Amino acid sequence: MISLNEEAGAAWTGTFRQEVEKIFSPDGLLAGAANYEHRTEQQQMAGEVAAAIENGGHLVIEAGTGVGKSLAYLIPAALYALRTKRKAVISTHTIALQEQLMYKDIPLVQKLLPVEFGAALLKGRHNFLCGSRLERALSQSGDLFTSEQRMELERIREWSLTTRDGSLSDFLEQPEPAVWEEVRSEDHVCTQKTCAKNPRCFYQAMRRRALSADIVVLNHALLFTLLGGIDEQEGRESGLLFPKDFVIFDEAHTIEDVASRHIGMEISQLGLRRGLQRLYNPRTKKGLFQAMKNGPACSVIAELMPRADAFFDQVADRCAFKRNREFRVREAGLADASDLTDGLVRLTEFIKIQAGREEDETRKSELQDAARRLGEARFGINDFLRIEQPDHVYWVEQYGRREIFHTLRAAPVDLAATLQRMLFRENTCTILTSATLSLGGGNMNYFRNRVGATESRAVQIGSPFDYQKQMTLHLVKKMPEPRDPGYDAALEKWIAHFADQSKARAFVLFTSYTTMRTAAQAMESHFADKGWQLLVQGNGMPAHRMVQEFRENPHSVLFGVDSFWSGVDVPGEALSNVIITRLPFATPGHPLTEARLEAIEAEGGRAFEQYSLPEAILKLRQGVGRLIRAKTDTGMIVILDSRILSKPYGRAFLRALPECPTTIH
């Protein structure tokens, strides 16, 4: 392997950190690149990342908007991965950043560095077509699918002949879930042994690319899924996903929320139904057991499916769901699951007997996998109803429009100890970075305590942007508080006022779907009269398409909720105004939030000051960060919540924002 030093013709004697900092210096390797602009902040961050990787420590690094975080960690990561044969794992929260890394930043680094390295995008296996399962589904389509589903299967077959990567993202129109579940990659069924030679097993092809790549990019959700439990992680000698790997979390401000959804329990009514219907669907008379001509097993499933729905109906009847459709369960014995669990035991025995008869190894694996999943569901239901873990919060979620379904959930109230043992062990290197990890004033203790990174080195690097010249802040003292009469009318009035000032080109960020929809309906004619396009989240257009429309039409106003507060990048004049309708305090009614607040109070703390306020400050900083994305950007931030001026805690919000000219209306 040619080292960077040899290729560049320089004799380096310094540390890896010094070498990387030299690359980012005004006369370094990057200086000759087109459109490259030296940034002291980027050079500092690259040096910190290089030192952490080389020394094997853990690092929490806040780097303000405009630092150029991606290059600052990709270059040291690529060099160190090549030299040590250790894999660099980059985890992001949003698809947008993954795509930016894979299709823009990494190709740029590959051109800039005089060494070659490979990168791969890692997706969850359920995203991928398995060629072996597709062949089997085609051969048994008459027993597995209805006539309409067979047409869908044929569409998937035709798509498989031309698809680039064989994943769901390559579909123009997503396939029907019931059909896709029969042809997608599955644990214990789609394996290296069974599928390695199949040219249309796209998961195994992706897996081979990931194993050979120097850099692997994935999202937080998949990473926590692959990490497994604490015991599994603590049993590893080194690394998190690969031996001796090092992991960089970009958009790290989201990892607690993502981890809370993946570390814990989830039993889905819809998921259980689909699992049973894969074996046999009493309505369509199709399924695996139908293909095997196992009539007794089909009868067991036909009896079991109404029992499953009856159990979840009983659960729903005992839950007083709030507006956000969650109900916290505080006592054991919410419902009687004996009919359901007895049926699951009986069905599992039928599956095991059938698997024992199977000579086809792939079919045997499918049956064994089904038995394992049903066993997990049975144990999960019993565990949920017993509520035996005092450090967990248990709740039921209700979802669906045409048909209502329910999910049983449980999660640790405090993830810090769990994450500390999983991510910040010895013989691992974990780096967390984001533009918003502090509460202002350089203090990142709140974030570090929440994610278990208390022993990690903490570094804060400011933004290179000149906010005094690039941004103005507008606060509206005349705005009624959210619960006051006349709030909706005043909100619409001030949104119109400030959108008019920026001639559209505005993001309007809400904390409530209901408030957003009410404002959108009331203001539709105002924007239409001006010839402006109004884009409203939840109206059927995907978020990425909304952003694209907003960029392309200079006379657009976008109304969005949670997903538009972070991870959205619209540089230039297209976005000149970010209107924040309300300070983003988390809904205290969500069971997990409620339990966290109670835990703080139980220990003698002050929940508002120690949790609600810091969380809201971090989210406000994310929302404000949507505006200035480049040194040439200018625009206004508008906060339509008078509490930022009237309440004592308002000063904490203001201290956390960039210093810039401020006008009070």
Tens-digit pLDDT profile for residues 505-526? 999 999 999 999 999 999 999 9
HEC profile for 480-542?
CCCCCCCHHHHHHHHHHHHHHHCCCCEEEECCCHHHHHHHHHHHHHHHHHCCCEEEECCCCCC
| DSSP, res 176 | P
Starting at the edge strand found earlier in the chain, the sheet holding 392-399 runs 265-268, 405-412, 392-399, 326-329
Give the tens place of pLDDT for each residue, 377-402: 999 999 999 998 888 999 999 988 78
Q: Give the pairing of strands 556-560 and 533-536.
A: parallel
Q: 40: buried, middle or exposed (CB in 10 Å: 19+, 13-18, 0-12)?
A: middle
In 136-291 the beta strands, taken as DSSP E runs, fall at 215-219, 246-249, 265-268
CB neighbourhood size of 382 (10 A): 13
pLDDT of residue 12: 34
Given the structure tokens 């209306």, which residue do they identify?
665
pLDDT of residue 544: 81
pTM equals 0.88
Instruction: Quote the CA–CA distance of 264 and 418 in Å, as a whole number.
Output: 11
pLDDT of residue 235: 58
Q: 83: buried, middle or exposed (CB in 10 Å: 19+, 13-18, 0-12)?
A: middle
12 is written with which tokens?
């380096």
Q: Report CA-CA distances (Å) from 481 to 490, 516, 583, 647.
A: 10, 16, 11, 11
Instruction: Quote the CA–CA distance of 561 and 514 in Å, as a whole number.
Output: 10
Q: 329: buried, middle or exposed (CB in 10 Å: 19+, 13-18, 0-12)?
A: buried
pLDDT of residue 1: 26
Instruction: Quote the CA–CA distance of 109 and 215 in Å, as a whole number.
Output: 12
How does DSSP assign 589-625, residue by residue? TSHHHHHHHHHHHHTT--HIIIIIHHHHHHHHHHHHT
pLDDT of residue 637: 97
**Nearest to 42, CA basis, from 464, 468, 457:** 464
pLDDT of residue 231: 54
In the chain, which residues have pLDDT < 70? 1-14, 229-237, 324, 441-442
pLDDT of residue 364: 85
R_g of the chain computed on alpha carbons: 27
**Nearest to 192, CA basis, from 120, 130, 244, 140:** 130
